[in-house]
Amino acid sequence: MLLRNKQVAIVGGGPGGLTLARLLEQSGASVKVYERDLSRHGRVQGATLDLHHESGLAALRAAGLLDAFRAHYRPGADRLRLTDQHATIVLDDHAEAQAATFGDAHFRPEIDRGPLRELLLDSLQPDTVVWNRQLVAMQRLGAGWEMTFQDGTTAVADLVVGADGANSKIRPVLTPIRPFYSGVTVVEGSLPNSAQHAPRLHELVRGGKVFAMGDVKTLIISAKGDGSLAFYTGCKTTETWARNSGIDFTSAAEMLAWFRQEFAGWDAIWQELFASEATYCVPRPQYCMPLDQTWPAQPNLTLLGDAAHLMPPYAGEGVNMAMLDALELSQCLTSNQFPDLQAAIGHYEQHMRERAATVAAETLEQTEALHSPGALAQLVGLFSGVA
CATH superfamily of the 7-44+114-178+292-368 domain: FAD/NAD(P)-binding domain (3.50.50.60)
Q: What is the pLDDT of residues 312-349, one digit of tens each?
A: 988 778 899 999 999 999 999 999 999 999 999 999 99
d(CA 128, CA 22): 10
The answer to whether the pTM exceeds 0.85 is: yes
Residues of the binding site for FAD: 50, 113, 306
CATH class of the domain at 180-288: alpha beta
List phi, psi (to 5°) of 180. Answer: -115, 155
In the predicted model, residues of the chain with pLDDT beneath 50 are 387
Residues of the binding site: 43, 50, 113, 306
Q: What is the pLDDT of residues 13-65, one digit of tens each?
A: 999 999 999 999 999 999 999 999 998 887 666 678 999 999 999 999 999 99
d(CA 327, CA 14): 14
On whether the CB atoms of residues 34 and 149 are closer than 8 A, the answer is yes
User: How many CB atoms neighbour CB 243 within 10 A?
Assistant: 10
Looking at the chain, which residues constitute the CATH 3.50.50.60 domain(s)?
7-44+114-178+292-368
**11: closest CA among 119, 168, 175?**
168
Looking at the chain, which residues constitute the CATH 3.30.9.30 domain(s)?
180-288
Residues of the binding site for NADPH: 43
pLDDT the model gives residue 45:
63
The letter for the amino acid at 382 is L
Three-state SS for 25-39 is HHCCCEEEEECCCCC
